[in-house]
Structures are given as structure tokens and as C-alpha cells.
Amino acid sequence: MDLHGKRLGIVGAGNMGAALMRGILKAGALTPEQIIITTRRPDRAQRLSETYGVQSARDNISCATQADIVMFAVKPQIMENVLQDIGPHFGNRLGISVAAGVSTHTMELALGGAPRVIRSMPNTPALIQQGATAVSKGAHATDEDLELAAHLLRQAGRVVTVEESLLDAVTGLSGSGPAYIFLIIEAFADAGVKVGLSREVAMELAVQTIQGSARMVQETGQHPGQLKDQVTSPGGTAIAGLHTLEEGGLRTTIMNAVEAATRRANELGRR
Ligand SMILES: NC(=O)c1ccc[n+]([C@@H]2O[C@H](COP(=O)([O-])OP(=O)(O)OC[C@H]3O[C@@H](n4cnc5c(N)ncnc54)[C@H](OP(=O)(O)O)[C@@H]3O)[C@@H](O)[C@H]2O)c1
């Protein structure tokens, strides 16, 4: 992906905006000189500028107009106002939003004209460059725009492309997913304590088991059912545990959780 000579503006370099910035710099996708940022409090942008060598702009319009690609990483509630301010100066730039629940249609209306916009739904592990992000393009963006946005977001983890109508489902699965997994990790650690392990040891084993199992699925490319069968010996311990999980309706519970979160994302998006 040729980003040579391109400049990226990050409007709202908070947790997510700064995490993406760090990922992009770490991967060498852009140099610090190619990145311009803004935040609400100038001292935060100034601190990031001193730490990472990126430029901090005096306001959002100046940030956007110095850039070829503008990443919008402010909170969803203020996104429309921020876009409306920048709109008259936006021109033919590419806009990428990471805000939950703000549709490309809303972005297009707020910016005005026929802007090229991409909407994405990242999740919190993007903060440590281990995110799962879905992207979709607005009415005026091209396939190349989508690929460019995916390339930038890939610096903070994995990226998939979906139809915009499926972004609520993405919110239900990977967007909200870290919360489910954190709960599962906590439950595993509690379980370890219940069977006599110290909290510290139980937590370490729980986290590493989840991480190792996830990486095994990714790296072997094998179906998780197949990997499960490989650790389940006749009359053994794993099958006894699996029986209990099935009895408790684990699969149904997880499916219900993702479905409930998807419905909620849809409700919030319609407000
Ligand atoms: N955090 C996540 O895990 C996550 C996951 C998925 C999607 N997202 C999306 O990412 C976006 C940002 O979330 P966040 O968690 O990174 O929030 P955050 O840490 O509060 O970052 C928001 C940033 O926007 C800045 N800001 C506020 N008003 C501004 C304005 N008028 N002009 C320019 N910058 C302004 C804030 O400046 P100050 O620092 O000076 O207050 C802050 O740096 C949200 O839309 C959210 O939906 C976040």
C-alpha cells in the first residue's frame, strides 16, 4: 500500500486514536512527520507530539486540511458537530471513522457534498495492537479507499470487510466480545481458586490457556471442534468438564449474548 507522501490527520487522539497512531508508527506505515493530531485539551496533543514526534495542529480544521486522510476518533456524541465544522474544508480527502454507531450516511450528511468516507468498528484490544476491526465503505468511497483504510487499521490488529448493515452484528460479537472474554477469564480464575489454586496462579493459567487456545486456532487453521476432540480422551477429564458446560447451555448463552448486544447496537444507532 503506497502511503508515500500521504499525511494522516487524527481528529481526537484519545485512547483509540492514539493507539492507532502508535500502531501505525510502530509498523513504519507512516513516519511521525506524516501524522497530525488534535485533542480537545491542547496539552494532551502537545504531550503526544513530544513523545512520538508527530505534529499537533491548533484546531480540527487545520488538522484536516494539512492531511490527505482524516481519521475521526472523537466520541460518537460529538462526531456530527466535529464533522460539520470540518465539512466546508474537507474537499476530496478520505475520512475514516472509528466511532461506534455513527453511520456513513450521517457522516456524509454532516460533512456535506459527496465525501469519501469509511466507517470502522474496532475493539479495545486495538489499544495493544491486537484488535479485531470491521470496515465498510460509504456511498462515495472506492474499493481503493476501503483497502487504504483497512491497511491503516491493520496496524492495530486484524481487519475484515463487511456490509455496513452488518456492523451492529460486529458490535455484538467482536466490539462487545472483550467484555465477555474478560468475564470468562475471571470465571476461570475463580474456578481455579475453588479447586485450591492461589488467585495469582489461577489467573496466570486462565489467561495463558485462553490466549494459547485462541492462537492455536489462528495458527493451525484447524476447526476448534477438531482441536477440542484432540484434547478429549475417552472417559477423561476434559469430556467430564465439557459435559457440564453443555448442560449449563454455554453455546446458547453465548449466542444469546451476541444477539442481545447486536439488538442493543441497533437500538442505539437509531437514536
Ligand atoms: N476505546 C475503545 O476501546 C473503542 C472501541 C471501539 C470504538 N471506539 C471509538 O473510538 C472513539 C474514541 O473513543 P476513545 O475511547 O478513544 O475516547 P477518548 O479516549 O475520550 O478519546 C476521544 C478524544 O477526542 C478528543 N476530543 C474531544 N472533543 C474533541 C473535539 N471537539 N475536537 C477534537 N478532539 C476532541 C479528546 O480530547 P481530550 O483527550 O483532550 O479529552 C480525546 O483525546 C469513539 O467514537 C468510540 O466509539 C473506541
From the list 110, 158, 171, 174, the residue with the least C-alpha distance to 138 is 110
Give residue 271's pLDDT: 67
Closest-lying ligand 1 atom to the alpha carbon of residue 17: 16
pLDDT in tens, 45-62: 999 999 999 999 999 999
Q: How confident is the model at residue 269 (pLDDT cuts 50, 70, 90)?
A: confident
Is the shortest distance between the CB of 155 and ligand 1 below 6 Å?
A: no
- pTM for the whole structure: 0.92
> Residue 183 above 70 pLDDT?
yes
Is the shortest distance between the CB of 203 and ligand 1 below 6 Å?
A: no
Give residue 267's pLDDT: 87
Neighbour-count burial of 44, counting CB atoms closer than 10 A to its CB (0-12 exposed, 13-18 middle, 19+ buried)? middle
pLDDT in tens, 128-152: 999 999 999 999 999 999 999 999 9
Q: How many Å lie between the centroid of ligand 1 and the Cα of residue 207?
A: 28
Q: What is the mean pLDDT of residues 229-252?
A: 97
Average pLDDT, the chain: 95
Cα distances (angstroms) measured from residue 56 to each of 19, 43, 104, 214: 16, 10, 27, 38
Q: How many Å lie between the centroid of ligand 1 and the Cα of residue 205?
A: 34
> Residue 1 above 90 pLDDT?
no
Break the chain down into helix, strand, coil percent, rounded to 5.
Answer: 60, 15, 25
Q: What is the mean pLDDT of residues 245-265?
A: 97
Residue nearest to atom 43 of ligand 1 (CA): 14
Q: What percent of the chain is predicted at pLDDT more than 90?
A: 93
